[in-house]
Amino acid sequence: MDLSALTIFRAVVRENGVTRAAAKLNRVQSNVTTRIRQLEETLGTDLFIRDGRRLVLTPAGETLLPYAERLLALAEEARHAVSENRPQGRLRLGTMESTAASRLPRVLAAYHRQWPQVTLELTTGVTRALIESVRSFEVDAAIMARPYEPDALPAEQFESVAVFEEELTLVTPRGHQPETLAREAAGLTLVAFERGCAYRSYAMRWYEQQGIRPARVLELGSYHAIVACVAAGAGVAVAPRSVLELAGLGDEVDMHPMGELGQIDTLLVWRKGHFSAALNAMRELLLTKPQ
């Protein structure tokens, strides 16, 4: 079982088919199909079944996938270990949208200047999805808000370091007074990212502390859309002050402090034991905060 075959197998799974996998790997479709067939012959079992135009993993394929992820990650780690500890190759980094917009541009620019031989791949998602991406080796590390749930990052699986601190604010339409804020918020919609967003969890905890619940939750996928809804009177939201100020969105709404609950660490998280020179260079830059 060679690594290139496992790479092709993983790509077919991730890209949900041979055509997109071939494009991703810069291979012809017939080559991808042949290599999958050869892998199945080596293992003595089918890895996929065809359901209409889709390829679906068989139970054997489901079993193989996590092993393939671990073997490919270990091979990548081995390549880093024998490369004189100089950053090179590929660094796959997951991050929250808010961090990508407000904190990372200068860090990524400085990283590229210092280590141009490293290919950076950046993906965004909510905290829960980022944790799963690190756990399954889809990314080498992720930058995420510290989860509210204390067991979300078990020490036997993950390592982390705090790299930023964000101030979460309760965002309301203009004119809401602090002394009546909790009572008024109880009758309004909470505008938030999808479930799995750490900031949404902190918002719900704020509601619990006030002894209230939001009237309903409206899920949106960007802070511009969220703030626009709040400014129009559709509800309230929780967002990092840095994002609102950077985008000039704070002029459209009122921002209210959330006390200690609003002081949130942003962590760099990686799979325990899965570290590399490229990731270490990124960690050092995040800790030094290039200007």
pLDDT of 51: 77
- 55 or 119, higher pLDDT: 119
pLDDT of 81: 63
Domains and CATH numbers, the chain: 3-80 (1.10.10.10), 87-165+265-288 (3.40.190.10), 166-262 (3.40.190.10)
- Stretch 122-139: mean pLDDT: 93
pLDDT of 271: 92
Least confident of 8-17, 112-121, 180-189, 215-224: 180-189
The alpha carbon of 126 is separated from its chain's Cα centroid by a whole number of angstroms, namely 6
- Stretch 44-69: mean pLDDT: 88
Yes or no: say if 96 and 268 are a contact pair by the CB < 8 Å rule. Answer: no
Q: How does pLDDT run across 151-197, given as a tens digit for each residue? A: 999 999 999 999 999 999 988 888 766 667 777 777 788 999 888 99
- Stretch 18-22: mean pLDDT: 88
* Confidence check: pLDDT of 84 > 60: no
In whole angstroms, give the CA distance from residue 203 to residue 170. Answer: 8
Q: What percent of the chain has pLDDT over 70?
A: 95
121 burial via Cβ count (<10 Å: 0-12, 13-18, 19+): exposed
Average pLDDT, the chain: 88
Q: Which two tokens stand for residue 10?
A: 């993983």
